[in-house]
Every structure is written in structure tokens, then in C-alpha cells.
Amino acid sequence: MSFSQEVKNELVDHIDNGRHCQIAELCGLISFGGKVAQNDAGSVIEFQCDYPKMQKKYFTLSNKANIIGGDGLEFFPETPDTLEQVKGIIVQQTCCKRAYLRGAFLMAGSISDPNKGYHFEVVCKSEKQAQQIQYIMTSMDLDAKIVNRQKHYVVYLKEGEQIVSALGFMGATKALMDLENIRILKEMRNTVNRRVNCEAANITKTVNAAVKQIQDIKLIDEMKGLSALPENLRDIAIIRLENPDASLKDLGEMMTPPIGKSGVNHRLRKISEIADKLR
């Protein structure tokens, strides 16, 4: 099952207690999945969904909130043929904003597999509908953006942390925990990889430096003999040749008397200068 489907399975069973929230979620379902039809009584709302659990949720909410048939039309602005926005009063309270977003997401939302990337979206039928969803999400500190995709307006989030918050707002607690676990694992993997790369780079640097030092020393030895070097440089040159793998710190400790890392560095640089002159 996709992550998106898991989230929806969790949300479809979530029924709020407050009637205001029940109406708000119902409006979300209708706004994104319903249409206005005409019958003998006039304009009515029709709600069609292939997913039986969603159909069931629609009826449960209608019954609980005590809204019968097409009477929900009063929650939408005065245009009898579209349901693209709800009246502001429906999504005034934070609890109701969450419920509306849940309804919208159930009908028109999706989340990508968090193992692959972070993307949350709600596909809207019009720019106005997208703006209302964006407004609701922004008021909950979600950095929602709108993009025009063919005939649709898509409201989306791109950041893992934001998607975690969105799941929390909609009440998908289990999915939220799953996503957090994936994020932590990913973060750890990234940190480990970064560290490994960094260490590998350092090792390469150290090895390259040691190779260069040994080349310099051998050059001097061939052209002038190491005995031509001042004593302090000769000692470090011999220790370096005998210990090609040792770090500067280790080389310093092998000297009598021991010297610090910067002292070793200084002497090796002098050797390098002498070698460069010979070249």
C-alpha cells in the first residue's frame, strides 16, 4: 500500500466530535468530490466516490451533523453550479480548518513515498479553491505554494517537517510517527555518509602529503645525501622514511626529544623547499 493510501486509510476513520468540524469536513469532501445537480426539489448536492469507506464517511458525517441530502448547499457561496469554495464561516476556527483540510486531502490529496522524497499536494479544480486551501494551510504556519498544472491548480508542500505538521493537523497520528521515523533514519544515514566522505577525504589528503614528503626526502638523498641536511631535518627525514603511514603527531612523538605536530610540519616543509630547489 502506498504511503498516501495509508494516510487516507487512517483519516477516513477519523470522525470529529464537534458539529462545526463535522460540517467543515463534509464541506471539504463536497467541495472536492461533489457536484450540484438539478432534481424536482431544485439544486441538490451529489457526492460520488468509488471508495466505499469514503462514501460511508460522507453519510456518517451527514447524519451526525444532521444535514440531509442536498441541504449542504447553504455552506457554499451563492453560485448554484459550483462548489469550489466554502463560506468563510465554515473554516473560521482552527479545529474546522483542520477538518476541512482533511476532507480536501481525502478527496484530492496525495503524499509521495517519504523514502523517495517529500511532496504533499492537494489538486484543486480552480484557482479560487486553491487559494482557499492555501489560505487555510498558511494560517496553520504551513508554507503552502500553488502551481498551475494543466487544467488544475495544485497546492503543495515540499519540506519533510512541513508535511509532518500537515499530517498532525489533519489528525493522521500514526502516519506522522511513520514519517518521523523515516526522516530520522534518513538524517542519520546522511550524517554517516557525510562523515565517511569527510574522513575519506582527510585520509587521501594525509596519504598524498606523506607520498610527497617521501619523494622529497628520496630526492635529497639521491642528489646530496641525507647527511647534507641539518641535524633536526635529517632526524625527521629518517623517521618519515621509516614510517610512511604515521601521522605528523605520531612522527613528532618518535623524535628525541619529542616535538609537536606543528614542529614536524615546519621541518617537513623546509625539506620540501630544499627538494624544490634541487629540482
Binding region for Zn ion (CB under 5 A): 18, 20-21, 93, 95-96
Indicate the residue among 99 and 179 with the shorter CB distance to Zn ion. 99
CB of 202 to Zn ion, least distance (A): 57
CB of 168 to Zn ion, least distance (A): 16
Indicate the residue among 20 and 267 with the shorter CB distance to Zn ion. 20
Q: How far apart are CA 275 and CA 222, in angstroms?
A: 11
Cross-strand partners of 154: 123, 147
Q: How far apart are CA 121 and CA 124, in angstroms?
A: 9
CB of 58 to Zn ion, least distance (A): 18
Indicate the residue among 132 and 272 with the shorter CB distance to Zn ion. 132
Indicate the residue among 17 and 256 with the shorter CB distance to Zn ion. 17
CB of 22 to Zn ion, least distance (A): 8
CB of 139 to Zn ion, least distance (A): 14
Other CB atoms within 10 A of residue 33 CB: 21
CB of 147 to Zn ion, least distance (A): 29
Indicate the residue among 31 and 213 with the shorter CB distance to Zn ion. 31
Indicate the residue among 21 and 248 with the shorter CB distance to Zn ion. 21
Indicate the residue among 16 and 121 with the shorter CB distance to Zn ion. 16
CB of 61 to Zn ion, least distance (A): 13
